[in-house]
């Protein structure tokens, strides 16, 4: 039986960051081979990451609102159309003129 192995830049990068031999070993084998030998296959998605992202953005908005309330006249920011804090490209020249 021929054992097929795979290696990619991301596999090597992960190993160099973590120095985890087990993770490297599992990453080198095809998913079908791992499954056939009763080994864990990699997760295709990161469960719960969407919830974590939403909570993080809500926290960021709350913290920014606190800063705006505390330092209102000193804060320069670009609100979005809904009035919330804007998280995107800004026209720097228009913000500098507000100084």
pLDDT digits (tens, 9 = 90+) for 40-79: 877 777 777 888 888 998 898 889 889 888 987 787 766 6
Polymer length in residues for the chain: 99
CB 76 within 8 A of CB 95: yes
Query: What are φ and ψ of residue 29, in 5° steps?
Result: -100, 150
> pLDDT confidence of 1, banded at 50, 70, 90?
low
Closest alpha carbon to 27 in 45, 17, 42: 42
Listed by start position, the domains of the chain span: 49-97
DSSP 39: P
């Amino acid at each position: 039986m021929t054992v097929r192995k795979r290696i990619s830049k991301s596999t090597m990068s992960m190993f160099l960051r973590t120095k985890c031999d087990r993770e490297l070993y599992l990453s080198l084998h095809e998913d079908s081979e791992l499954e056939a030998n009763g080994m864990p296959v990699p997760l295709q998605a990161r469960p719960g990451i969407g919830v974590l992202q939403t909570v993080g953005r809500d926290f960021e908005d709350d913290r920014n609102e606190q800063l705006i309330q505390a330092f209102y006249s000193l804060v320069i920011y670009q609100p979005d159309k809904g009035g919330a804090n804007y998280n995107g490209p800004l026209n720097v020249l228009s913000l500098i003129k507000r100084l």
